[in-house]
Amino acid sequence: MQLRHVESFLAVVEEGQFARAASRLFLSPPAVTGHVRQLERDLGTPLLHRSPVSLTPAGARFLPHAQAMVAAANAACTAVKDLHGTRETVIRVGVMAPGAAELTPAILRAFCRAQPRTRLVVESLGFTDFLSAVLEHRVDVAFIRPAPHDERVVTDTLTVEPRILLTVAACDLADAEGVRLADVLDLDFVRFPETTPRLLSEYGSFAAARNGMETRWGVGRATSAQDLMTSIAAGWGVAGTLHSLGRYYRAPGTCAIPVVDAPWEASALISRRDDLRPEIKAFRDLAVALARDPELGRLRPPVPPGQ
């Protein structure tokens, strides 16, 4: 016995005609006639007199059960739809410290207020997994630096900032108001693990300005921002980064020196290009709005010279 056959039987009873029942169900009259006949075969007895349409004794006995079957099916569908409407959605947010500096917690707070039914789960990312965590579905979005050039992810730029050199406070350059790339390229830089994406290791050592010159690596090795600051404070190497990390995350015993001729770099929010869920789009849209609108975010990223 199929539910659609029962529904056709009820429509004929309520409409009093096969033609009107077919119109109500958006079916052809022969289709409705076939449904009722199959139902009668399944039950082994006629349910309707045809001319005029009326219930047989078996049909009268079957009618309340048919109504209960259809009502139960409709109630089940409604229950599932209601559950879907209240189901908690989760977005896993990766943060490669400090992400987009003050914008990172501002975006998280604003999204929780705007989308209370979506729960955010924040996970720390290191220097080796800031991209792979997204691609391998361990997190859904990630606050990282610098902005990657990878067709597998969508990149939303949040800040564009000047570059700084992080160094131990006892360094000869520590008192300088600013340095140039030529002053820093021959220093010993904190080393990254071999599994670190090339994008980050080149960013941290100003590789674009070296014209093929090899980077001198110090004894320090860092897999996270905390490791980086510890190595720098110990005098085991220097590192290039964005202005906001030196202001937001600098450790005691270190200093941040502007690199005045280094190209500005971006911090970004990334997500998988094939992740088209509306909650991901909502998170990205809000993050970009806060980064660009000082009235919403009360933060305006630095503007590169000449813009």
Q: Within a domain: residue 8?
A: yes
Please write the tens of the pLDDT for every residue from 227-266.
888 999 999 999 999 888 877 777 788 999 999 999 999 9
Domain assignment present for 115:
yes
Half-sphere exposure of 190 (CA within 13 A, CB side): 30
For 162-213, how does the pLDDT look when each residue is reduced to its tens digit (9 = 90+)?
A: 999 999 988 888 888 899 999 999 999 999 888 888 888 889 889 889 888 8
Place of tokens 């590192």: 239
Q: Which of 58, 86, 114 delimits the end of a domain? A: 86
- 13/143 same-domain check: no
CA 203 from centroid of its chain's CA atoms: 25
Q: Are residues 58 and 195 in the same domain?
A: no
Q: How confident is the model at residue 302 (pLDDT cuts 50, 70, 90)?
A: very low
Q: Looking at the structure, tell me whether residues 173 and 249 fall in a common domain.
A: yes
Question: Is there a single domain that holds both residue 202 and residue 237?
Answer: yes
Residue 141 has pLDDT above 90, yes or no: yes
Q: How far apart are alpha carbons 78 and 76 in whole angstroms?
A: 5
Stretch 212-223: mean pLDDT: 85
| Range of lowest pLDDT (197-201, 242-246, 274-278, 290-294) | 290-294
Which of 219, 246, 232, 83 minimizes the C-alpha distance to 168? Answer: 232
Is there a domain that residue 233 lies in? yes
Q: Are residues 103 and 45 in the same domain?
A: no
Please indicate, yes or no, whether residues 238 and 222 belong to a single structural domain of this protein: yes
145 and 175 fall within a common domain: no
Range with the poorest average pLDDT among 50-59, 72-81, 291-300: 291-300
CA distances from 256 to 171, 282, 304 (A): 11, 35, 19
Q: Are residues 289 and 233 in the same domain?
A: no
Residue 156 half-sphere exposure, CB side, CA atoms within 13 Å?
24
Domain boundary among 51, 86, 121: 86
pLDDT for 294: 47
pLDDT band at residue 137 using 50, 70 and 90 as cut-offs: very high
Q: Are residues 53 and 98 part of one domain?
A: no
Q: Is residue 304 part of a domain?
A: no
| Alpha-carbon gap, residue 186 to 171, rounded angstroms | 14
> Average pLDDT, stretch 75-83?
56
- pLDDT number for residue 299: 40
* Percent over 70 (pLDDT), the chain: 90
188 within a domain of the structure (yes/no) = yes
Q: If pLDDT is split at 50, 70 and 90, which confidence band does 79 have?
A: low
Report the CATH number that the domain containing residue 174 is assigned in CATH: 3.40.190.10
**155 and 167, same domain (yes or no):** no
Report residue 53 CA to chain centroid gap: 58
Flag whether 306 is in a domain: no
Same domain, 170 and 243: yes
> Is 219 or 60 the better-scoring residue by pLDDT?
60
**One-character DSSP codes across 5-37:** HHHHHHHHHHHSSHHHHHHHHT--HHHHHHHHH
Q: What is the CATH number of the domain that holds 10?
A: 1.10.10.10
Give the residue, 226 or 75, on which the prediction is more confident: 226
Is 302 a member of any domain? no
Selected residue with higher pLDDT from 255 and 77: 255
CB 62 within 8 Å of CB 36: no
Establish if 284 belongs to a structural domain: yes
Q: Tell me: do 111 and 129 sit in the same domain.
A: yes
Q: Say if residue 160's pLDDT is above 50.
A: yes
- Structural domain containing residue 35: 3-86
Domain boundary residue among 53, 86, 119? 86
Q: How many domains are there within the chain?
A: 3
Helices (H), 44-120: 57-86, 103-114
Strand blocks (E) in 176-221: 188-191, 216-221
